C-alpha cells in the first residue's frame, strides 16, 4: 500500500508541475499578445495646422509658396512622402480664374498626426448634404493640431491665434462674385490694407459666422500685425492629397 500511495503521490506532483508550467506559458503568451492587441495601427497622418506662418502676414508667396510651406513642415516630421496642399482659395486675377480650396486637397479621408478623424471626404468636410451639415465634420480645437501634434492657441489663450487663413466661403469655394479683396491679392500682399477671409479652428466667437472653421470673417489688413490684431498669426490648414 505504501508503494501504491507513493506512486499516486508522484503522479499527482508530476501533473501539478505540468499544469503550473502550462499555466505560466499561457500567461506569458497572453502578456506578450496584450500590447499588440492594444496598439491598433493609427490612421495615416493627412491633416495639420501649420505650427508657424511665414512671418509676412498673408503674403505666403501665392499658392505655390503656401504649398511649399506645408510640404516643408510635413517633411520636418517625417511625412514628406505625401503631397501636401494648403487649404486656400484664390480670386480671379490678371486673367487667371479663381481656384477653390475644396478642389485642391484630394478626396480624403483626413486624420491628424495622432490618428484622429477630421473628415471622411470633401463633402463631409464642408457639409454638402443636409445630414452632413447637421452632423458636422470633426475639425475643432481638439483635432486641429499642428504637424508636431501640438495644440494651436485658441480663444482664451494668450495670444489668441484661432484665425486660420482660407480665403474661402463656407462651402470651400472662392469669392467669385465679390470685387472686394478676400485673399490679400491671392496671398502676395502684406500691406496694411486689404483683407483675407479666415476661419476659426476652435469654432468660437460672438457671432454665428465665428463658429465656422473656414469662413468666420475677413481680416483687418494683410500685414503680420494686422493678422495678430484680430486673433491670428498667419497660420493655415494643410491637407495631404494622396
| pLDDT tens, N- to C-terminus, the chain (242 residues) | 444 444 444 544 444 433 443 444 454 444 444 454 466 788 999 999 999 999 999 999 999 999 999 999 999 999 999 999 999 999 999 999 999 999 999 999 999 999 999 999 999 999 999 999 999 999 999 999 999 999 999 999 999 999 999 999 999 999 998 889 999 999 999 999 999 999 999 999 988 899 999 999 999 999 999 999 999 999 999 999 99
Alpha carbon of residue 56 to chain centroid: 23
Pairing mode, if any, of strands 84-86 and 163-165?
unpaired
Is residue 207 domain-shared with residue 224, that is, in the same domain? Answer: yes
Query: Which of 198, 165, 157 is closest to 66 using CA atoms?
Result: 165
The domain tally of the chain equals: 2
Q: Residue 20 belongs to what domain range?
A: 1-40
DSSP assignment letter at 47: E
50 φ/ψ angles, rounded to the nearest 5 degrees: -60, 135
Is residue 188 domain-shared with residue 82, that is, in the same domain? Answer: yes
Collapse the DSSP code of 111 into the 3-class scheme (helix H, G, I; strand E, B; otherwise coil) and give the result: strand
Residue 53 corresponds to which cell in the numbers above? 506662418
Is residue 142 domain-shared with residue 231, that is, in the same domain? Answer: yes
For 85-117, letters b (16+ CB in 10 Å) and e give bbbbbbbeeeeeebbbbbebbbebbbbbbeeeb
> What is d(CA 24, CA 233) in angstroms, rounded to the nearest whole number?
58
Is residue 135 domain-shared with residue 235, that is, in the same domain? Answer: yes
* Cα 72 to Cα 44, 113, 184, distances in angstroms: 18, 15, 23
Amino acid at each position: 500500500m505504501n508503494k501504491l500511495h507513493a506512486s499516486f503521490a508522484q503522479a499527482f506532483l508530476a501533473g501539478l508541475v505540468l499544469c503550473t508550467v502550462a499555466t505560466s506559458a499561457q500567461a506569458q503568451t497572453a502578456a506578450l499578445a496584450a500590447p499588440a492587441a492594444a496598439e491598433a495601427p493609427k490612421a495615416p497622418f493627412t491633416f495639420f495646422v501649420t505650427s508657424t506662418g511665414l512671418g509676412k502676414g498673408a503674403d505666403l508667396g501665392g499658392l505655390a509658396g503656401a504649398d511649399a510651406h506645408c510640404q516643408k513642415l510635413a517633411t520636418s516630421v517625417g511625412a514628406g512622402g505625401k503631397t501636401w496642399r494648403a487649404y486656400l482659395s484664390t480670386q480671379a486675377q490678371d486673367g487667371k480664374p479663381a481656384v477653390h480650396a475644396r478642389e485642391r486637397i484630394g478626396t480624403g479621408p483626413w486624420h491628424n498626426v495622432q490618428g484622429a478623424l477630421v473628415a471622411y471626404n470633401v463633402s463631409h468636410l464642408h457639409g454638402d448634404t443636409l445630414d452632413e451639415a447637421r452632423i458636422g465634420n470633426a475639425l475643432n480645437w481638439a483635432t486641429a493640431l499642428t504637424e508636431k501634434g501640438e495644440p494651436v492657441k485658441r480663444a482664451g489663450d494668450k495670444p489668441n491665434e484661432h484665425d486660420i487663413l482660407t480665403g474661402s466661403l463656407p462651402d470651400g469655394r472662392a469669392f467669385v462674385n465679390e470685387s472686394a479683396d478676400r485673399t490679400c491679392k491671392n496671398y502676395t500682399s502684406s500691406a496694411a490694407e486689404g483683407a483675407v477671409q479666415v476661419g476659426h479652428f476652435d469654432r468660437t466667437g460672438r457671432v454665428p459666422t465665428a463658429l465656422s472653421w473656414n469662413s468666420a470673417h475677413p481680416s483687418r489688413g494683410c500685414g503680420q500685425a494686422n493678422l495678430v490684431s484680430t486673433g491670428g498669426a498667419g497660420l493655415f490648414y494643410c491637407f495631404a492629397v494622396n
